[in-house]
Structure 1
């Protein structure tokens, strides 16, 4: 669980909290149960049973609100809390972020351990008006990275975003490349999931403590800047003399100072020269050193608090020494004046000793001055060198950081592109496998159809052969019928001739009978009539018997003839039906053949299209493979470049003194990048040549396919010609059959006419029955011959019937085969229709995939062009940075030269002033020596006078 709000407030602001209200774990069900004052600043209602945010509209000054571990399911009732800074709603039942539009001062928002999947409530917080810096959303249900970025991208002050903490995360955290995408699209972020932008874990408590230390350092600096700096002359001289050998404190602090701080300190030194402080200087340095050791992370704050008083102190030390010498001389003169009454020897000795002491002090002062000047020069040299190195290090680190960020962004982009391309390659491989399987199925179906077409052609040939056989048999039957008709005609002609002969015989016999009657003697009428009646009765009986017999034979023959005609008609009708059936079957087979040919042509076209599509897909896959190889090479190269740059960074961090060597390494890396660009251009040129070669190969394959297509079209034309020739032959056969049918109809009409003639002749035969008795023998013989002919015709009819039955059986078999072929053709047609739909669907899919691939290729080309432009811009920026760096170096060198000239001029001034002071001291010493000489002479004269006076006194004694 989260800590209370007070701790967070103290850690973030560091101010004391007044007007707080804390009701933790009190079993509250509603905020309205409490009487809240409008002057409250913080409310903590952690671990209660509150289900709705209400009754806090009147708390205008509320800055911190903690409603964690409750049963709140909606964010509401916060529109009037415009001063609210921190809001903790963790461990609730919230599913959507809303109602935060009016919270313009909200900086921290904790919504962890909820059921949030909609972040649209953060969109109104976009812009400069809202200052939201910290959002905690771990242990929720956020699963869309696009929705997350859309809702968070406009939060300009957001620096800390937590979606995963201690292994408890959101589903979006498991998306590949999530961290890289978040850091790339949200450049304002400094901490993501408790890690900085470099992936290092960050402790929030240390950040808060460092903030407090920084604030304390700033307060100390303000206090120290307000305190006066008055240093006495004696203390400064003592501190300088004591601190000359201690060279460890000030150089350490000078190395940490930047150019800006040094420049500011120089200004402060120049401003603070006339002011004198009463505080000892060493105590201040000790305090600042202690503060420096305590707060190493915030040296930039403490560096500004150290004033550098070296120059001022050195001038003051020389002045102090001069003043001390003057005071000592004055004291000596006073002593000499006071002790005028002492002896000259003692005074002389004391004066000599004092002179020696003064000379020793002067020599020591000169030595100290030389040491101080040397030390100042060394310090200036070290400071200048360290400033130069520090500025170079800062510039190089900034440049390298920018390069690292760019490389990381490019690496992230390349990883995303590689992931997308891998997914596309997987999809394309799956589609390729499906297309290959479908192609194999199509090839199998084509082979089956070719086999079926071959069978159909064989069956068609067999049917044509059977039809030709049937036609030949019909022609043979027609020829046999023609011969039979000719024989019947000849027999009729013979019968006519016989009838004529019979008429002639009858006429002769009548003439003979008339002659006999004329010559015959006539009997009496009664006898003649009786005999005649007897003979007539006998002859009538015989004649009636003969007529009956003949009539029976004629009836049988007519019946047989009628039967033969009926059978012949039935045979003709059956043959006509068979011919029609055969013709219909032939036409059906021809139409089916045309349909199958059309289906075959359509299938061949589809196969050609599918093969071309497969070739296009294979070419696309090869191009993608080459592009993936290029991307992998680029990735390896970028990884190698990153490794080299990381190594160079480590070398730069470890060895700050070798910046010039590192600049040369950067130049070498620049040359390597240029060579790598040239290598990439050569690779692109090689890929283009490979693409041209593939295009030539595709053109050759297209020409070969066109040749194959021409051959197939020629074969189809030849088959069409054969079909037309067969149709023409069929039409000729049909015309011949029609002619024969007309001939047979004419013959049947002639037979009918003959029947009418026969009937007339039978009537004539009935009239001439007496004459027929003589011709019975001939007719009997003719009847025997006709009976034999009829037997032959019956045998032929039986053979024809047998052939008819065989043909019927064959027709039934053929009809069954045709039904099977039709069924197979219908199934094949349905299959081809289904396959055509599948092929059309595949074509649409392939076209869509091709369009997608072309769009992706265009995007990749645009990205490649953009990357090339970015590289060019980066190279130009590097050139500009190098020029700027050179200009900065030149400016720094010129500034250093100017500073050196100024220091030399100031040093010359100080030396001139020191020489003037030494000259003055020497003049004063000379004057003192002259005065001492004069005093010595006066003393000697006095001594002489005293000695003369004493000698005179002794002489007088």
Structure 2
């Protein structure tokens, strides 16, 4: 395995695109690295079934398609890509670590087929739904560590429900540094998660007591999966060596079930028995096996382990054969004893006496176990030899051969146990040495981390310098923009003056139009009054016609009564129920009709009063509008004065901005000085870190000299280390793990590069925010100009409202005409109703011929109707008097309108005078503005030339500082590369020393074995 790892080291090449592969053909490599190579699809990569590690960090991959070509993949890194959905991972049954950080995932799904997955990193995504973890329920899944910081998880209950069935989950990260989830801001979220997930050992890298917990999952190291068992045993060995625990020493024993079973059967049987020829053959076979095992030890490390296992299996088979042969020899011995029982009764008694203590010794040896060593085996062999000597020559020879075979087997078994104990001790020593190497690697990692921190600091200083340069450029651009804004403000002021002039002209035209509208409104009011008088006359005519119709109705009633009296002679008798009911019905109908007619007349009178009140409201509204128009003219004049004051304030604000520009230039010079000081401090810190690194290198060289001295003392221990091939393989696996750590460091450097890119994006976003603020200021200026335009449009809107009022007055006139037409229509309907009533009354007269007894009541009703008609006539007289009063009021209002017209003409003359004065003032103001503008332009040109010179000087200084910073960054990067090369060379030296140590261990082990054999 060491030779194979050397060949792999020699075959590692660097591709131009940044991908690392094996040999020239990546289809034969077990590890592929395509970090920041612009990969867009996994289908374009040369994946194959022997691939175990794939790193595609920082690419443009959008979908997980094509991974079915690498079914034996164990470590997959697809961080910093564009993946939006987890799919296509069901074919990766051997996958142990999965890194999908920095993608566009919104949901956890598609993990049901990953039963070997131990660690998953889903940080820095947009995950909201984690229900996909519920598919990984039960002990069949090995998921141990989940990282979910930097996402959008909000519900703690959903998280606990999804992760409750993950039995092997031990570490969960939802918040790390400044990256967290919205659920982490909830109250007692940590207590809820720890209570809902009892299998957790640590949450957010803190254990259940709140102490810092180191999350170390050995499955993260590529190539270390096959040696996790050995790492666990080595740690147990160190614990056992320190404490001497019997259970742990038993767990370290090599399992040999067949040997233990055969050895137990051998000790449980009786000691008497004969040997057959198989014992000698087995002895020779044992010698051959020893020779073969020795040749296997010389063949190599892999062959030695195989020979060691074969030798153990052969020993088990031989013990089983001996146990079976011993049973057969007992049966033959019993038959021989029966034949010679008469001749050698005394000898038989002696042999039985000697068998009894041997059986006791066998039982004692069984009670002691397999740790008695070769002494117990020798005692049992001598006891067997004494027993065989008594029975005769052939039995004695067979017994002697059997005892020798048993003794050799037991000695060989003890030797194997001793070798196993020595190998365990060597394992412990190797584990301690591996721990030392791990400590040294941790120190190297600390040195590497310090170098990375220094690089990050230098990069941050460079970024700060770049940011300051950009801010200086932004401020210079802002100063230029302010100058342009001042120029535009001056132009805007001139434009406003022109607009004010145009507004005054419009107001002049509006005043003349208002006069014409007032004249028209007065004429319309006169027309309305005439129409109201005509309507009153029509109402009087209608009332007279109604009175005439009532008189005609009374005359008809009188004639009908006479007809009724003539006809009642042959009709119903007075007081009959039929006559009374008919009279009652007719009387009720007449009452209802009369009440309806009176109600209609009252409604007409109320409508006429309402129309009169509406006319009064319209006159009041016209007067109010006239007052409002005068007030608006006054307000517009005040607003013109305020705008002139605002222009003066804008001029003062422009001067204030110029002062602020001078302050900004002073601040820029101060920032440049501070930046120089920061660069000097960064150079000093870099020199101090270089000195500290040199001191660490000297310390490591002293440790290497000490290791060389120890190697000279251990050169005599070479031969025994050949049998420790498995431990050496574990050592090689640790070295491969260190190489994997190196690759992980490279990945971390790449992640830091991506973090720097993110910082650059944040700075760019900040610049965009500043640009948006400038745009907002421009929009505010535009809003102010729009407000001025709105003010100018207010006057136009007022003119529109006056026009609308005229239109509304015309509409009201049309409405009055419609009301008059409706009145005429209603009178016509009343006449039709009267005709209908007369017809119905005729019908009723035909029916009520027998109602003579109720004639008096009908007369009383007629009298009441006459009274109501008289009241209606009185009401009509009152209405006429009211109309006369209204006409008097209209005449008074006309006089008031004439008075208001005269006042308006007087005010208009005053306003014209004020307008002439304001025009003269405006011309004077424009002359002053021109003079001020000329002076301001001259001053602005001088300041702009000075600003340009200062900006050019600052740009030259900034370019020089940027070139210096870039050169320093390049120097630091070169130093970092040299530092990494030195650490790589130091690792190679350490690996060479480890190889020397292993060879020394081999020699020491061989010497120990030879000394033990002697």
TM-score, length-normalised on structure 2?
0.22
Bigger CA radius of gyration: 1
TM-score, length-normalised on structure 1?
0.24
Higher relative contact order (CA 8 A, sep 6+): 2
